Amino acid sequence: MKTTICIPFLLILSMICPPSHGQGNAPTTEGIDLFGSEELLQMTLSFDMREFVRTKNQSEYMDARLTVKISESDSVSQDIKLKARGFMRLSYCSFPPIMLKFSNDSGPERIQKKGTMKLVTHCTKSAVFQDYLFKEYLTYKMFNLLTPYSFKTRLVRINYVDSNKPDNAFTAYGFLIENEDKLAERNKAVVINLTNITQKQMIPSDMARVAVFNYLLLGL
């Protein structure tokens, strides 16, 4: 199926994500700094896609293998776990967002140390949803310009491989979202897992920034 992309998105993305020569830093026992570059990252994610879609409403992780291209001639792979995530998109999308789970059980070189990372996917193979994905990615980038208390992201081009039916492989854009613990660490903050916080407990200037930014998005 022919894919179309809105021309303004191509122009903006070409400035944010320059042509990729080196994909990232060399892997170490600490992993790859996936958010240390704005270059488009090339990845391959192999797993049982039929089972993933069939059980997307369940909360169990499944086996997968992730490969990240770090240069024109080199890549690094790691066995990971993944599961579908989200709320509305979990039930709406034919290919929902993904939670990637890393462990320290790999060899001396790894993509990431123990922890999780969100992957935003294309939702469906329709071209319009690809444009939605680019809009969402650019929204994160815009908020990065306003405050360090914002998640870093990395645009990725993913080759999805069905581990049981390799011929069903396809390629789509997505983007990675920084783990909240990493966000807290670089801002010398802590993550508070509470659901009953009110605006009275918020910093007024931060709340005002979010409100104005949300208002700005309504006009885009």
Q: Would 216 be classed as within a structural domain? A: no
Least confident of 25-39, 70-84, 154-168, 187-201: 25-39
Closest CA to 138 of 206, 213, 36, 34: 213
pLDDT band at 5 (very low <50, low <70, confident <90, very high): very low
> What kind and span of H or E run contains 91?
helix 88-92
| Distances, alpha carbon 109 to alpha carbons 25, 76, 130, in Å | 12, 8, 33
Q: Would 23 be classed as within a structural domain? A: yes
**64: containing domain:** 7-193
Task: Judge whether residue 125 has pLDDT over 90.
Answer: no
Q: Would 37 be classed as within a structural domain? A: yes
Residue pointed to by tokens 């809105």: 6
Q: Would 55 be classed as within a structural domain? A: yes
Q: Would 207 be classed as within a structural domain? A: no
pLDDT score recorded for residue 27? 58
3-state DSSP assignment of residue 40? coil
CB 40 within 8 A of CB 153: no
Q: Would 92 be classed as within a structural domain? A: yes
Q: How far apart are CA 101 and CA 84, in angstroms?
A: 11
| Distances, alpha carbon 43 to alpha carbons 126, 127, 146, in Å | 21, 20, 29
Task: Judge whether residue 208 has pLDDT over 90.
Answer: yes
pLDDT score recorded for residue 180? 94
Q: Would 201 be classed as within a structural domain? A: no
What is the tally of structural domains in the chain?
A: 1
| Distances, alpha carbon 166 to alpha carbons 50, 86, 95, 149, in Å | 12, 27, 17, 41
pTM: 0.85
Q: Would 134 be classed as within a structural domain? A: yes
